[in-house]
Amino acid sequence: MSVPLPARVDWSGTERPAGAAEVARAEGTAARIRREVAEIHTAAQDLAACGSVEVAVADFLTVQAAVLKRAGGSAEHADTLRPDEDTRE
Protein backbone atom coordinates (compact mmCIF):
# COMPACT_ATOMS: atom_id res chain seq x y z
CA MET A 1 0.00 0.00 0.00
CA SER A 2 1.74 3.11 -1.22
CA VAL A 3 1.17 6.27 0.77
CA PRO A 4 1.24 9.60 -1.06
CA LEU A 5 3.97 11.81 0.32
CA PRO A 6 4.14 15.58 -0.02
CA ALA A 7 5.53 16.96 -3.26
CA ARG A 8 9.23 17.73 -3.41
CA VAL A 9 10.16 21.35 -4.11
CA ASP A 10 13.57 22.28 -5.50
CA TRP A 11 15.44 25.56 -4.99
CA SER A 12 13.68 27.21 -7.91
CA GLY A 13 10.24 26.34 -6.53
CA THR A 14 9.50 23.55 -9.00
CA GLU A 15 7.31 20.84 -7.47
CA ARG A 16 7.46 17.15 -8.33
CA PRO A 17 5.71 14.19 -6.76
CA ALA A 18 7.72 11.98 -4.41
CA GLY A 19 9.37 9.18 -6.34
CA ALA A 20 8.86 5.47 -5.80
CA ALA A 21 12.24 5.16 -4.08
CA GLU A 22 11.38 7.98 -1.66
CA VAL A 23 8.02 6.40 -0.84
CA ALA A 24 9.61 2.97 -0.37
CA ARG A 25 12.30 4.45 1.90
CA ALA A 26 9.69 6.25 4.04
CA GLU A 27 7.52 3.12 4.28
CA GLY A 28 10.57 1.03 5.23
CA THR A 29 11.59 3.51 7.91
CA ALA A 30 8.05 3.56 9.33
CA ALA A 31 7.94 -0.26 9.44
CA ARG A 32 11.33 -0.37 11.20
CA ILE A 33 10.19 2.21 13.74
CA ARG A 34 6.96 0.29 14.44
CA ARG A 35 9.06 -2.86 15.09
CA GLU A 36 11.35 -0.90 17.43
CA VAL A 37 8.36 0.55 19.27
CA ALA A 38 7.03 -2.99 19.79
CA GLU A 39 10.43 -4.10 21.15
CA ILE A 40 10.51 -1.13 23.52
CA HIS A 41 7.00 -1.95 24.78
CA THR A 42 8.01 -5.57 25.38
CA ALA A 43 11.12 -4.50 27.31
CA ALA A 44 9.07 -2.00 29.33
CA GLN A 45 6.54 -4.69 30.26
CA ASP A 46 9.36 -7.03 31.34
CA LEU A 47 10.93 -4.28 33.46
CA ALA A 48 7.60 -3.32 35.04
CA ALA A 49 7.50 -6.75 36.67
CA CYS A 50 10.70 -5.96 38.61
CA GLY A 51 11.52 -3.47 41.38
CA SER A 52 10.59 0.19 41.74
CA VAL A 53 13.60 1.52 39.82
CA GLU A 54 12.80 -0.78 36.93
CA VAL A 55 9.17 0.40 36.97
CA ALA A 56 10.38 3.99 36.61
CA VAL A 57 12.59 2.95 33.68
CA ALA A 58 9.65 1.09 32.15
CA ASP A 59 7.49 4.22 32.42
CA PHE A 60 10.22 6.28 30.76
CA LEU A 61 10.59 3.72 27.94
CA THR A 62 6.83 3.68 27.38
CA VAL A 63 6.79 7.47 26.96
CA GLN A 64 9.80 7.35 24.63
CA ALA A 65 8.11 4.64 22.54
CA ALA A 66 5.02 6.83 22.18
CA VAL A 67 7.16 9.78 21.09
CA LEU A 68 9.03 7.61 18.57
CA LYS A 69 5.80 6.16 17.20
CA ARG A 70 4.33 9.64 16.80
CA ALA A 71 7.49 10.92 15.09
CA GLY A 72 7.94 8.11 12.61
CA GLY A 73 5.29 5.42 12.88
CA SER A 74 3.75 6.25 9.49
CA ALA A 75 5.34 6.84 6.11
CA GLU A 76 4.22 10.47 6.11
CA HIS A 77 5.94 11.11 9.43
CA ALA A 78 8.99 8.95 8.68
CA ASP A 79 9.52 10.97 5.50
CA THR A 80 10.10 14.12 7.57
CA LEU A 81 12.11 12.49 10.37
CA ARG A 82 15.31 14.38 11.11
CA PRO A 83 18.48 12.27 11.47
CA ASP A 84 18.69 13.09 15.19
CA GLU A 85 15.12 11.79 15.68
CA ASP A 86 15.72 8.51 13.86
CA THR A 87 16.90 5.39 15.66
CA ARG A 88 18.90 4.00 12.76
CA GLU A 89 22.42 3.14 13.81
Is the model's pLDDT at 2 over the cut of 80? Answer: no
**Whole-angstrom distance, CA of residue 37 vs CA of residue 58:** 13
Rg of the chain on CA atoms, in Å? 17
What pLDDT does 88 receive? 65
Please report the sign of the dihedral spanned by the C-alpha atoms of residue 14, residue 11, residue 24, residue 80. negative
Is the model's pLDDT at 1 over the cut of 60? Answer: no
Closest CA to 69 of 87, 43, 83, 55: 87
Q: Calculate the CA 74 to chain-centre distance.
A: 7
Question: At 5, is the pLDDT very low, low, confident or very high (cuts 50, 70, 90)?
Answer: confident
What pLDDT does 15 receive? 92
Is the model's pLDDT at 89 over the cut of 60? Answer: no
What pLDDT does 38 receive? 92
- pLDDT tens for each residue of 24-65: 888 988 899 899 999 999 999 888 888 888 888 889 898 888
Q: 3-state class of 8 per DSSP?
A: strand
